[in-house]
Amino acid sequence: MAFEGLTGRLQDAFSSLRKKGKVSEQDVQDAMRQVRLALLEADVNYKVVREFVNSVREKAIGEEVLESLNGGQQVVKIVYDELSELMGGEQAEVVTSYIPPTVYMMTGLQGAGKTTTAGKLANFLRKSKNMKPMLIAADIYRPAAIDQLQTIGEQLNIPVFSMGDQVSPVEIAKKGLEEAKAQNRDLVIIDTAGRLHIDEVLMTELKEIKTAVDPEEIFLVVDAMTGQDAVNVADSFNDQLDISSVILTKLDGDTRGGAALSIRKVTGKPIKFTGTGEKLDALEPFYPDRMANRILGMGDLLTLIERA
């Protein structure tokens, strides 16, 4: 992997801190320089990095830490705790409606993984919450988007509502919801076309769907490999739609997934799931602490702390 060198340096920085017992301000500065680099290489937004590093540095240079006998260990712990905290602390559950059906909308940039994740989510909630899902094909633009969703529906044996690609997505969403009620489905997941956050026409369309179906959740689906632009995208979708949560896809790759941190920070919205493969069962609830480890590339940071 490409980041091995960096992870090594980071671990060196931390382990020398750890061994030190008493640490000096300079020790902390040196370690924080490595942390900064690690976060940037992980695609955490540079502004978020700056804020993070400053806040950790402040805490770490506090009296108690510098004076304590295991100061090094404390600094490592501060980094880790701050990062998990930023990631959202606790794991967050999906919102369901008391009066069925519960309605979800999948939104995001082109190719992020909306359609696949719609299927995964339906499958997941059918299993874990015993829900009866229906998928709605509201992407009328991408060639064969409907075929894709229908194939996924067939693979999962979950009904897919479609009206072809000549009817407006708003109309499809409305009719789909009616149909779901008629069929006593208690979960409706609307797949929408990928779009740029700066595409006013298509963003308006999403607002109209939102108004028409009043969803319990609007998921912003984000590719974990996204770079610095993640904040622009997330901020803009959130501004225009007030998204409720985020799903991070393609985490089965070797990306560090620093976009997660940036998105969490700029939107304040929880990440609820991660996509970890192309198969329809590759969806997992999101664990903030694991993500914190991953971003710094320190799978065994916890053991480091424990051993210290």
| 88: DSSP letter | T
The region of 32-40, 58-66, 165-173, 248-256 touching ligand GTP under the rule CB under 6 A is 248-256
Residue reference for tokens 């007030």: 242
41 near another protein, judged by CB under 8 A: yes
Lookup: tokens for 159:
């009904």
In single-letter form, the type of residue at position 116 comes to T
116 near ligand GTP, judged by CB under 6 A: yes
The one of Mg ion, ligand GTP, another protein, none whose footprint includes residue 276, by CB under 5 to 8 A per kind, is: ligand GTP
# chain residues binding Mg ion, by CB under 5 A: 2
As a whole number of Å, the end-to-end CA separation of the chain is 27
Q: Which helix (H) or strand (E) holds 105?
A: strand 102-107
In single-letter form, the type of residue at position 201 comes to V
The region of 58-66, 139-147, 174-182, 282-290 touching another protein under the rule CB under 8 A is 139-147
111 near ligand GTP, judged by CB under 6 A: yes
Alpha-carbon torsion, ordered 101, 194, 245, 211, to 10 deg: -50
**Residue (92 or 225) nearer to ligand GTP, CB:** 225
The region of 128-136, 146-154, 211-219, 296-304 touching another protein under the rule CB under 8 A is 146-154
The one of another protein, ligand GTP, Mg ion, none whose footprint includes residue 68, by CB under 5 to 8 A per kind, is: none
Sites for Mg ion among residues 62-121 (CB under 5 A)? 114-115
The one of another protein, ligand GTP, Mg ion, none whose footprint includes residue 152, by CB under 5 to 8 A per kind, is: another protein
CA angle 136, 150, 184 (to 5 degrees): 45
Q: Which helix (H) or strand (E) holds 174?
A: helix 169-182
